[in-house]
Structures are given as structure tokens and as C-alpha cells.
Structure 1
Amino acid sequence: MKQIEFGLDTFGDVTYDENGRTLHQAQVLRNIVAEGVFADQVGLDFFGVGEHHRDDFTVSAPEIVLAGIATLTKKIRLGSAVTVLSSDDPIRVFERFSTLDAISNGRAEVIVGRGSFIESFPLFGFDLNQYEVLFEEKLQLFAKLIKNTPVTWQGKTRTPLKDQDVYPKLEKAPLRTWIAVGGTPQSVRRAAHYGMPLMLAIIGGEYAAFKPFVDLYKKSLKQSGFEDAPMIGVHSPGYVAATDEQAKDECWPHYRAMVSRIGRERGWPPITREQFELGCGSDGALFVGSPQTVAKKIINAIKILELSRFDLKYSHGTIPHENLMKCIELYGKEVVPLVRAGL
């Protein structure tokens, strides 16, 4: 059976201290480095840091945070979760990740996506009306860059390139690059077109509902001339504590506040405890519970979605760093061994 990778993702949520006071973003960033180092110590395969540009998340420069973690770790792979390629420059993204790859001795990877938050577009001077074309053209260019060879490219959104080398060169090409998919068939087909690994970004509902995307991905890969399917991964929210009730009680108030804020911005109704409990159920996309409960759900998700990697998005709003460290410990030392044994 194929080897399954297990990772953790964080958006660098601004957290509380143990007394319920909001931490400074600088301290949260230092805590994220400690969490990444601890993830390596408990034997996890991947640590991902997402990019945002707003006051409730601290990480606007994932590669710098990951470089800090790289200098203190030995084995764990390090990447973004996600890099908003639409509002960045593909050459600069490649340069930053090839630098991270050098510092980490070949452990860097990138997950690119259009992003569900749009703050970066006005911040960097991009027109939201070009949402689709920006991502399509920049991904086309990035797919050339990760091959480590001189690039010739022309499009509408930036100046053309002819036989352009970009540095530093990768020691081993290509750079592992995932395409994050939130729920559109077009995005799945795009990943298959480039033969890139597919990362299913699940935030709610039932994880089995993403099975049609897996089937579409495999079908589209063959249509694009790829015989062997690259990796399929899932990024899904979760939180681990000693018991199911402890995990839900510790996670719920922070999760509710986070989702409620985002919901107000997007016109969603407030989330209820009943909805949260449903998400924590056996079919729901919230992998919240005891090690045994979470492991059982992950096993089912791996089988249904034919996964090569499962990334637990363990940060949820203001959950204190100390609680997150305990979650990481249980995930690495108990959940992952249970999953491996169950598979």
C-alpha cells in the first residue's frame, strides 16, 4: 500500500494567552515557529502556513516563517497553505520557495490557489475583475518556473519573458507544487492539465462529498496524457484532545467566533452548536475529537478519497498556543500511529 503523509496546517490565527488576553502578532509568529518545530519532533511529515493579509491572521509572508522553522528542524517538509498566486508575482514566489528549498535541504513545497480571502487584491493593486485570468496566467508561468529551466512566456498580465533564468536554481527539480481546490470542477481540471498534485481544501459539509472531484481529477489526468495520478491531499479543520467532549468544548467557542466573524463579512448566518456537532460527527468535515475518533474519521477519508496526504488544519481562531501544542502532540503521537495501523 502507498505511503500516506500526515501534515498540519495553520493560518497563523491571532490567539489568546492562558488568561484570555489577545497576544501580539509578533508573539503568535514566534509560537508558530515553536509549533512547526514540535510537529517535526513528533514525527509529522508536513507543516503548512497559510498566507493572509488581515488582522485576525498573522502570516503575510509564509516563506519567512517556514525558513525560521527550517533552521530548527531536520525531516519535516515545509510549505504554504495556501500561496495566493493571483495577487503575487510567480517569479518572486519561485525565488522565495527555491531559497526555502535550499535552506531546508530540499524540504520545501508550495500549495497555490486563488484564495478565499480577497484582501491581497486591493493591497497589491490587482483588479478583482481579473480574478480568473490572473490565476490562469500566473499558474501557467509558475508551472514553467518549477522545472528549473530557462523560461519563455507571454501573456496579458505581465511583461513577457524570453529564455529567462531565475535564481537560485533548485538542487532537485521540479519543486513539489499542489493546486488547492475549494469546490469547482474547473480548478480540478486545471490541476490535472498541469499534472500537479491536487489539494482538496475542505472547510465544512461532508468530506465524502469531494469524491466526485477525485474521480474527475483522475479522468482529467488521463485526458491530459498523464498515466500515473500525482498525490491527492485533503486540508480539513480539526482539533484533538483527550476525549471527544474535551476537544469539542475547547474548540467550540474559538471556532464559533472565527466563523461568525467571517460569516458576517460574507453574509452567512451565525453558526450554531448543533451545526458544529454535526460537523464533528462521523461524516462531517470537522476532525474534532479524541485520538481514536479522529483516527477513525481520517482512515475513512483516506479510503473514500484515495488520499496520499491528510493535513489537519489545527488552528481555529483564538485557541491558546498551549492547547495547540497538546493537539499537535496527540495528533503526531497517537492519531497518526492509529491511522497507520488501521490502514
Structure 2
Amino acid sequence: MTKNLELGLDTFGDVSVDAQGDLLPHAQVLRNLVEQAKLADRVGLAYFGIGEHHREDFAVSAPEVLLAAIAAQTERIHLGTAVTVLSSDDPIRVFQRFATLDAVSNGRAEVILGRGSFTESFPLFGFELTQYEELFEEKLQLFTEVRKQKPITWQGNTRAPLSNQSVFPPVENGLLKTWIGVGGSPESVVRAAHYGLPLMLAIIGGEPHRFAPFVKLYKQALEQFGNPLPPVGVHSPGHVSDTDEQAREELWPHYRVLLDRIGRDRGWPPITRDRFEAEAAPEGSLYVGSPETVAGKIARTAKILELDRFDLKYANGTMPHEQLMNSIDLYGTQVAPRVRELLGVDAAAESELVSR
């Protein structure tokens, strides 16, 4: 559905460095993140998502609190997560927090639910990794019941049962917009289709066209379940600067630190410059370069996967706040209009879509 492609931003609140190369305190990173969201709103982007993590290199562990602060200082941009780790949370409390965010933002709240690619929240909140699948499946099932905003009678294995229980506050208008974040599992794609929820594909490596079979599977499963076609989106990392060379040189040292740090935890080999360049190439999953380069790459991905939204993960490692702000500005003022041109999107129609 590329005719009305929305463009958004995602961040995990990566702890960044100052002008001297020293790591900023988490508190300053959070304050900077509010400024980044305000800029995203000013340049007309559709969505700003904040991921949840519980480790030293990411500053955001309570995204809904930060999103509420951002809601008070923005006007149009939709606000949500990237993702909410539902497996280690309570579905009712998640719904209540986002229903509250929806109220204070005048209907701009969204939530992307997923299992997350990090597992620190499991021991932190007392959950067993041996229940990884069961926790997510049961909690997603309960969340979808809560989302209907009717009295709930429910029973499972991972929390106490409910009997004719109402949940407050309700969402003011309609249902809370809820996506399912998927990293590349066919089972997760079918699960999203089963519940009739929008699909957000996290493409963080390899060629985006490899995910076309997942989109096809999603549509086939929706048809089999008798559900209408919801939006399909992609979340991928990148960075925008004035030229391709500048963008790559700005991103590379911070991206390398990020990937190597995570790789040490997961047994990956150190990232090489050749691999970085391959991901930054036209067929890779790293949207880094000048506005023209990034716009062209987004448009190609949107056409191949028939996307309704593309979210750029603009913060990748310790990149300074000033470079992140410049990337956001270029993404909103130059990349977004160029993507509309390439896809033949009417700017007035997109503006109406964002304002809903």
C-alpha cells in the first residue's frame, strides 16, 4: 500500500557521546531524546517510536513516561514503542499505560508489541526464559481481549485468571492502534495475521527483498483467518547526512561499537568495514547516505514489500546528539518529500493521513 506510505523514526535511546567523546549521563540522553522527538514533529514525520531496554548502553527503560513528556511538547506526530516487550510485562498494565498516553496526546498513541531481541527483562522481572514462547502467546491473547474494551473473563498459565473484569481507562475513540513486531519468524507472521493486527518487520541485516515471502504469508494467513488487510511496516537502521561519504563516515565508528558490543554477548564475530559497506549498498538493510540515496532505497523497499509505513532507526550506537538532530532534519525535510515523489504520493493526502 505504498500510495500513502508513512515515514517514521525509531530509537532505543542509545547512550551517546559529547563533543569530547565522553559518554553522556542517562538523564541527559533522555532529555536529548525529547528534543529529537520535538524536531521530528516539526518536520512533519508520522511516527516516533521508543524501544524498551534494561541495560547500560540504552537509556530508556520506561518508554511510556518519556512518550507522555513528548506528547506534551508535540502536536501531530504519533507516539509509540519499538517495541514493548510484552512477555515480561503485564498486558493489562500495558494497555492502561497506552490508553493514558492516548488520552493525553489526543489520540496519537500506538503500541508495537513483541518479544524483543534482548532478554534482560526476563530475570529482572522474575520470568523464566524457558517460558519464552508461552509468555508471549498468552499475554498477547490477553492483550487482544483487553483491547476490545469489554468485560474480560480469561484464564491461562502465566497469571491469575480474570472474571468479568473491566479495565480502565478506555481509549477515547475506537481501538488502540496495535502492531506486532516480527524479526523474521514465519510463526510470528501467522500470529499477527491470526489476531488481525498490523505487521512491523524488523529488518536489521541482509537484503529487504528476502522478506517479501513473509508479507505474502501474512496476506495469505489473513485471508484464511477471514481478517481484513491491516498496514505493513518496516523498521530498519540508518543515518542521513549531506553526502553518502559523510553519512557513512559519521555512522561507521558508532555502528561498529554497537554491533561489536552486542556481538560479544551473542557470539557474533566483530563487524568489518566490508560488511558495513555491503549493508549500506543499494541492496542492504542499512539506510545510510545522502537524502537522495536514502529516499531511493526507502522507495525501493516500500515497492517490493508493499509497505504502509517505514520507520528509520536513526540512533545507532554512541553518535552525538547534534548529528542525530541533523539526520532527523534531513529525513523530514528532504528524504520524506523525495520518497513521496518517487512513489507518486500526494503530499496533501499524506498530511491528512498523519493528522488522523
| TM-score of the two chains, using structure 2 as the length reference | 0.95
> What is the deviation of 1:220?
0.3
Moved over 3 A (4+): none
Aligned-partner Cα distance in 2 for 1:329–1:170: 32
Classify the secondary structure of the residue corresponding to 1:270.
coil
Contact residue 238 and residue 286 of structure 1 kept, 8 A: yes
Q: Which residue of 1 aligns with 2:270?
A: 270
Aligned-partner Cα distance in 2 for 1:164–1:240: 48
> What is the deviation of 1:173?
2.5
**2:274 counterpart letter in structure 1:** E
Q: Which residue of 2 aligns with 1:4?
A: 5
> What is the deviation of 1:20?
0.7
Classify the secondary structure of the residue corresponding to 1:48.
strand
Residues 49-98 of structure 1: CA distance to partner in whole angstroms, max 9, x if unpaired? 00000000000000001000000011000000000000000011011000
Contact residue 148 and residue 173 of structure 1 kept, 8 A: no
Aligned-partner Cα distance in 1 for 2:45–2:340: 12
Aligned-partner Cα distance in 2 for 1:101–1:124: 26
Q: Which residue of 2 aligns with 1:205?
A: 206
Map of 1:232-247 to 2, 5 A cutoff?
232-247=232-247
Classify the secondary structure of the residue corresponding to 2:205.
coil
Aligned-partner Cα distance in 2 for 1:150–1:303: 41
Residues 306-339 of structure 1: CA distance to partner in whole angstroms, max 9, x if unpaired? 0000000000110000000000000000000000
Aligned-partner Cα distance in 2 for 1:141–1:124: 19
Classify the secondary structure of the residue corresponding to 1:115.
coil
Classify the secondary structure of the residue corresponding to 1:155.
coil
Contact residue 259 and residue 271 of structure 1 kept, 8 A: yes
Residues 205-263 of structure 1: CA distance to partner in whole angstroms, max 9, x if unpaired? 1111111100000000001111x310000000010000000000000000000000000
Contact residue 254 and residue 319 of structure 1 kept, 8 A: yes
Residues 167-202 of structure 1: CA distance to partner in whole angstroms, max 9, x if unpaired? 111101210100000011000000000000000011
Aligned-partner Cα distance in 2 for 1:335–1:165: 45
Aligned-partner Cα distance in 1 for 2:334–2:16: 25
> What is the deviation of 1:340?
0.3
Q: Which residue of 1 aligns with 2:165?
A: 164
1:216 paired to 2:217: yes
Map of 1:298-337 to 2, 5 A cutoff?
298-337=298-337
**1:197 counterpart letter in structure 2:** P
> What is the deviation of 1:139?
0.1
Contact residue 146 and residue 173 of structure 1 kept, 8 A: no
Classify the secondary structure of the residue corresponding to 1:219.
helix
Residues 247-297 of structure 1: CA distance to partner in whole angstroms, max 9, x if unpaired? 000000000000000001000000000000000000000000000000000
**What RMSD, in angstroms, separates the aligned Cα atoms of the two structures?**
0.7
For structure 1, list consecutive stretches of 5 or more residues without a partner in the other structure. Answer: none
Greater RCO, CA 8 A, separation 6+: 2
> What is the deviation of 1:2?
3.5
The more displaced of 147-156 and 333-342 is 147-156
Q: Which residue of 2 aligns with 1:64?
A: 65
For structure 2, list consecutive stretches of 5 or more residues without a partner in the other structure. Answer: 344-356
Classify the secondary structure of the residue corresponding to 2:4.
coil
> What is the deviation of 1:144?
1.0
Contact residue 147 and residue 173 of structure 1 kept, 8 A: no
The more displaced of 155-164 and 42-51 is 155-164
